[in-house]
Amino acid sequence: MSAHHAPGDLAARLTGRTAVGERPLSGALTEVTLDDGRVVIVKRADGPDAARAEAAGLRWLAEADAVPVPAVHGQEGDRLVIDRIRQGSPGAAAATRFGESLAALHTAGAPAFGAAPPGGPEHASIGHAPMRNVPRADWPGWYAEHRVLPYLRLAVDYGTIRPAEAALFEEVCARLPDLAGPAEPPARLHGDLWNGNVLWGADGRAWLIDPAAHGGHRETDLAMLALFGCPHLDRVLDGYQRGAPLAAGWQDRVGLHQLFPLLVHTVLFGRGYAEQTLDAARAALAR
């Protein structure tokens, strides 16, 4: 790798400091130490659009001044430079504070469901899957058109959901206006809020990384947080309810909101997630 393309060189250009050390963390992440003692992360995304979406998403979440996120020093091509977060351990008090801060983040709002962060591209991604940010005024129609059906079609094309099973998801989409609960304004979502994207910092706060940020329904972030487990989730939810109480019946809608991440996982990781996804669709229809 030439010096011009080295992570330390990029970090130096975007921070205005001299890089004095590099440490690869993975194929996509390199830790760079600067001459003032700060440590930043150089991250390689899946392409320029993905890098631009992540940088725009982090800045948009930071503007809410709610849940802390790493500062973005800049983005070039498929790489971005962000602050490193010193990690600690999850605790009950931090979880409660996280819930309160997440409520404030969501309440900061978005122009529309599907709205991209300012400066973010329409064609973004969630994990390694494509994700389009297309604004729409009503959540049920938008969720069906842009968060359920595109991944259902991909899963059927890949053979991970059988064509006969697709009718179940199509019925959920048709009934979404009745299943969605009370109308909500567009929330400012992290968009990929599984536990791996929550860093419990050494400063006693929970930090958010790797967003797929967009305007959406706040229950979707919470449903994704519950899907793969989160330390002290009950305390997170208690804090959230204090900050912005959820609409009645939200517990019954968790599976409905989990359809999106479950379908994404079915597309990315195969049939192993299909049964869980089908169960979530059946549970949504059984309400």
pLDDT tens profile 210-251: 999 999 999 999 999 999 899 999 999 999 999 999 999 999
Residue 3, pLDDT > 80, answer no
Residue 4, pLDDT > 70, answer no
- Rounded mean pLDDT, 164-190: 97
CA distance 84 to 128: 22
Q: Quick one: pLDDT at residue 80?
A: 97
In this prediction, residue 287 has a pLDDT band, given cuts at 50, 70 and 90, of confident
Percent of the chain past pLDDT 70, that is, above it, reads 99
- Rounded mean pLDDT, 46-50: 93
In this prediction, residue 205 has a pLDDT band, given cuts at 50, 70 and 90, of very high
Q: Quick one: pLDDT at residue 286?
A: 87
Contacts of 208 (CB under 8 A, 6+ apart): 61, 67, 68, 69, 190, 193, 197, 198, 199
- Rounded mean pLDDT, 81-102: 97
Best CA proximity match to 101, nearest among 172, 216, 190, 224: 190
Q: Quick one: pLDDT at residue 61?
A: 98
Residue 5, pLDDT > 80, answer no
Fold of 92-285: Aminoglycoside 3'-phosphotransferase; Chain: A, domain 2 (3.90.1200)
Edge-to-edge order in the sheet of strand 79-83: 19-24, 29-34, 39-44, 79-83, 72-76
- Looking at domain 3-83, its CATH class is alpha beta
Best CA proximity match to 186, nearest among 123, 257, 250, 107: 107
Residue 1, pLDDT > 90, answer no
**Mean pLDDT rounded to a whole number for the chain:** 95
H or E element, residue 34: strand 29-34
Specify the residue for token string 């990384």.
Answer: 209
In this prediction, residue 53 has a pLDDT band, given cuts at 50, 70 and 90, of very high
- Residue extents of the structural domains in the chain: 3-83, 92-285
H or E element, residue 79: strand 79-83
Q: Quick one: pLDDT at residue 275?
A: 94
For the stretch 24-36, pLDDT in tens is 999 999 999 999 9
What 3-state DSSP class applies to 61? helix
Residue 2, pLDDT > 60, answer no
